[in-house]
Amino acid sequence: MSKLGPNSYRSLLLDLDGTLLVLDMEKFIPAYIEALSSKFIDMISQNNFSQHLFGATNAMVQNLDPEKNNETVFYKEFYRRTGLSYKQIKPILDEFYQYDFPALSFWGSEHPRSQAVIEAAQKKKMNLVLATNPIFPSKAILERLSWSGLSADQFQLVTTMENMHFCKPNPEYYLEISHKINCPPEKCLMAGNDTIEDLNASQAGMATYLVDDFILQRSKEEPISDYRGNLKDLESLINSMEI
């Protein structure tokens, strides 16, 4: 499919972890799971907890039923696997995301070019979407966003497990964003560091920008994207747009 040039993009979708936020997910996820599972230690072993967390997350990622949001799919599967109920886990999760999750902030740090990319896109009056994989509750996403020095009010849409029905790398995730912001896919540019999760936006008809500051190369093959570079190069691309 032939893509439109940079002057046609009306919306910029940005990944968070490893793109706007300096965070090594491959190290952070085990630390996150250890902290979370320790809150449930009286109910379930840490090993079983992480197994069921991954199992329920997989169910959520694979769900393509537009009637069920990610949160619903995740918890239904998590309750089924663990035998735990909403009443049992809700207060523990609330406490975790209020006190324990923010204590993990040392894992993340600001990317010195993030703010400039956002400002460049704002100058061009582009829609801005924080297109982070919506497998986390909004509290956990907004918290990580704050580690990047950015805030939710800089975006028209922040995708979370509560407001989305699909996850990366499904093209349905990108089409849902396109629908929510009322911008056709071919006028959207998705920028992220993951060669599968982010570049799959092309399957929804979006243009893709592989941000290679902290590239997550998921396969041996050379990744295919419309653009590639660091955040500074992305800022230059946006500045070069005539609209």
Contacts with Mg ion, residue ranges (CB under 5 A): 15, 17-18, 193-194
CB of 210 to Mg ion, least distance (A): 11
C-beta closer to Mg ion: residue 17 or 143 = 17
CB of 196 to Mg ion, least distance (A): 11
C-beta closer to Mg ion: residue 89 or 188 = 188
Give CA–CA dist 189/208, Å, rounded: 6
CB of 114 to Mg ion, least distance (A): 13
CA–CA distances in Å: residue 115 to residues 19, 120, 134: 12, 9, 22
| Residue with token string 């896109």 | 121
CB of 231 to Mg ion, least distance (A): 12
Helix (H, G, I), strand (E, B) or coil at 132: coil
CB of 180 to Mg ion, least distance (A): 20
CA–CA distances in Å: residue 117 to residues 41, 112, 113: 42, 10, 6
Which residue, 221, 173, 169, 215, is CA-closest to 194? 215
C-beta closer to Mg ion: residue 23 or 36 = 23
Give CA–CA dist 166/120, Å, rounded: 29
- The residue with its CB nearest to Mg ion is 18
CB of 192 to Mg ion, least distance (A): 5
Strands 11-14 and 188-192: parallel
Give CA–CA dist 187/177, Å, rounded: 12
Contact 172, 150 (CB under 8 A): no
Contact 193, 211 (CB under 8 A): yes
Q: Which two tokens stand for residue 99?
A: 């006190």
C-beta closer to Mg ion: residue 37 or 195 = 195
CB of 156 to Mg ion, least distance (A): 20
Contact 141, 9 (CB under 8 A): no
C-beta closer to Mg ion: residue 41 or 196 = 196
